[in-house]
């Protein structure tokens, strides 16, 4: 069975504990369960990982180049700053990467309007909360 890696970046381990008005009430455990359930429905294996460290995300993106059919990534605040994550995604091309954000980054502070990941992603979904992860999984599964 083909595998899709779902990666979450810094502070997303805090989901459901603070800032519910921005990020909702669902925890990371809830979001990861939603992703695995959607994977089962789509007939793909979903493996979920979260890290607060940029290098972990870079290592996992590189690994996925050998063992996964695609990546769904919410790079958190690294979306706006990380040339390292941009380069790692470029390095595994043409493996498809879908970028997800829970919040609508374009309706927030100007520093969130730019994503370093968007130019190397096949697409980006933002503003739909956890549903965005399921939409991204559907989009990747449709390409397999
Ligand atoms: O909207 C998103 O998914 C973000 O990637 C979330 C990041 C933020 O830096 C991006 O601009 C947009 C922040 C994740 C922080 O998550 C928290 C969750 C609960 C409490 C505090 C932070």
Quick count: other Cβ atoms within 10 Å of Cβ 110? 7
Ligand 1 nearest-atom number relative to CA 126: 1
The dihedral formed by the CA atoms of 130, 12, 61 and 111, expressed in degrees to the nearest 10: 90
Q: Cα separations (Å) of 27 from 14, 18, 32, 97?
A: 7, 10, 9, 23
Q: How far is the CA of 59 from the centre of ligand 1 (A)?
A: 21
What's the confidence (pLDDT) of residue 84?
A: 98
CA 127 to CA 125: how far, in whole Å? Answer: 7
* Full-model pTM: 0.97
Out of 23, 78, 86, 133, the active site residue is 23
Show the ligand 1 pocket: residues with CB < 6 angstroms.
11-12, 14-15, 18-19, 23, 74, 76-77, 79, 101-103, 105, 112
Separation CA 144–CA 17 (nearest Å):
35
pLDDT at position 92: 98
Tell me which of 6, 7, 12 to substitute to probe ligand 1's pocket, judged by most ligand atoms within 8 Å of the beta carbon.
12
Q: What is the Å distance from ligand 1's center to 52 Cα?
A: 12
Nearest CA to ligand 1 atom 2: 101
pLDDT for position 137: 98
Question: Is 53 among the residues known to form the active site?
Answer: no
Catalytic residue among 78, 80, 86, 101: 101
Tens digit of pLDDT at every position of the chain (144 positions): 999 999 999 999 999 998 888 998 999 999 999 999 999 999 999 999 999 999 999 999 999 988 999 999 999 999 999 999 999 999 999 999 999 999 999 999 999 999 999 999 999 999 999 999 999 999 999 999
H helices of the chain, where?
Answer: 20-23, 28-42, 54-67, 83-91, 131-143
pLDDT at position 65 is 87
Q: What pLDDT score was predicted for residue 133?
A: 98
Position in ligand 1 atom list of the atom nearest CA 108? 11
């Amino acid at each position: 069975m083909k595998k899709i890696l779902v990666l979450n970046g810094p502070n997303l381990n805090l989901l459901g504990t603070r800032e519910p008005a921005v990020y909702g009430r669902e925890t990371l455990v809830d979001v990861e369960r939603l992703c695995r359930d959607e994977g089962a429905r789509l007939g793909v294996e979903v493996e979920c990982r979260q890290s607060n460290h940029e290098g972990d995300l870079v290592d996992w993106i590189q690994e996925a180049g050998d063992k996964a059919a695609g990546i769904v990534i919410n790079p958190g605040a690294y979306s706006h700053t990380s040339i390292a994550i941009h380069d790692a995604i470029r390095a595994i091309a043409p493996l498809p990467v879908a970028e997800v954000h829970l919040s609508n980054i374009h309706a927030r502070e100007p520093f969130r309007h730019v994503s370093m990941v968007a130019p190397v992603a096949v697409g980006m979904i933002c503003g739909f909360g956890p549903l965005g992860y399921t939409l991204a999984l559907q989009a990747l599964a449709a390409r397999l």
